[in-house]
């Protein structure tokens, strides 16, 4: 695992974006796994700026989003399709037909999950999976529980998750109770996983996920087993890690695990 700690969120956003830029320069047809939520917004802004500066092109790339709410159409402002269009896709040159997000309004949700898995399989391995972290340790919408799913499935959202995401809706009651999410198997099969976590409110959970026991009660703890895990934290999220803030250029991540493991 490579752990990078940044003095402020802007440096973190830039470093995460540059990781994706570097990948696309080496491999223009890379398959990207993408996340939503508050965390990646700044990363998508930095990617948009890099495309505007013509530092990178997404013209040959493909993307697969982690999840989508059940029952929200693409034009609902809180749907993840809407979010991705608003924050990234409409600002970059990725062909719309190569951007994939589960259809949360499909008449048959089980078939939609199977369809998404077939698309993932046909695309080959995800080269880089961008992940945020839920306050309860969820990744995508893989919620804590006695068992985890490997494949794309319909997840019942934890009350804590619905509460955390209520800020994206007019009223808390509007937050859907279910979502379609990529499973742990699909997330894990990515060549590289980039976990980005910001804010003091996530300091405990990110520390537990990366240093605590590996358990389905904290889905992100499974990431400890991934052979190529890159973690980027701001100082708030890194409060419980006793290692130094990344001093070198933010786009040159260093291995700063410094005897932690």
We find the least distance from the C-beta atom of residue 40 to ligand F6P, in angstroms, to be: 7
Selecting among 112, 117, 127, 143, the annotated active-site residue is: 143
We find the least distance from the C-beta atom of residue 167 to ligand F6P, in angstroms, to be: 8
Q: How far apart are CA 12 and CA 54, in angstroms?
A: 21
For position 39 contacting ligand F6P by CB under 6 A, the verdict is yes
Q: Which long-range contacts (CB under 8 A, 24 or more apart) does 50-59 make?
A: 50/17, 50/18, 50/21, 51/91, 51/92, 51/93, 52/91, 55/21, 56/20, 56/21, 56/24, 56/25, 57/24, 57/28, 57/93, 58/24, 58/92, 58/93, 58/94, 59/28, 59/93, 59/94, 59/95
Q: Is 130:84 a contact under the CB 8 Å cutoff? A: no
The residue among 140 and 253 lying less far from ligand F6P, judged by its C-beta, is 140
* Selected range binding ligand F6P among 85-93, 131-139, 170-178, 221-229, rule: CB under 6 A: 131-139
For position 141 contacting ligand F6P by CB under 6 A, the verdict is yes
For position 66 contacting ligand F6P by CB under 6 A, the verdict is yes
For position 176 contacting ligand F6P by CB under 6 A, the verdict is no
We find the least distance from the C-beta atom of residue 159 to ligand F6P, in angstroms, to be: 12
Binding site for ligand F6P (CB under 6 A): 35-39, 66-67, 132-134, 141, 161, 165
């Amino acid at each position: 695992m490579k752990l990078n700690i940044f003095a402020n969120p802007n440096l973190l956003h830039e470093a995460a974006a540059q990781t994706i830029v570097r990948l696309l320069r080496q491999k223009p047809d890379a398959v990207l796994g993408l996340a939503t939520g508050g965390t990646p917004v700044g990363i998508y802004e930095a990617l948009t700026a890099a495309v505007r500066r013509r530092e990178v092109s997404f013209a040959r790339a493909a993307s697969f989003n982690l999840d989508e709410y059940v029952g929200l159409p693409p034009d609902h402002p809180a749907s993840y399709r809407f979010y991705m269009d608003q924050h990234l896709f409409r600002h970059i040159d990725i062909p719309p037909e190569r951007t994939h997000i589960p259809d949360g309004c499909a008449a048959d949700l089980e078939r939609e999950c199977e369809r998404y898995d077939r698309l993932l399989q046909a695309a080959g391995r995800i080269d880089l999976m961008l992940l945020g972290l839920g306050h309860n340790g969820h990744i995508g919408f893989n919620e804590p529980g006695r068992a985890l799913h490997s494949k794309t499935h319909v997840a019942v959202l934890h009350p804590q998750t619905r509460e955390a995401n209520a800020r994206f809706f007019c009223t808390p009651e509007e937050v859907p109770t279910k979502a379609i999410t990529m499973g742990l198997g699909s997330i894990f099969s990515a060549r590289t996983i980039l976990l980005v976590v910001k804010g003091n409110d996530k300091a405990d959970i990110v520390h537990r996920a990366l240093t605590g026991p590996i358990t389905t009660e904290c889905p992100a703890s499974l990431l400890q087993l991934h052979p190529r895990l890159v973690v980027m934290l701001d100082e708030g999220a890194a409060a419980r890690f006793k290692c130094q803030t990344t001093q070198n250029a933010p786009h040159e991540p260093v291995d700063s695990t410094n005897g932690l493991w």
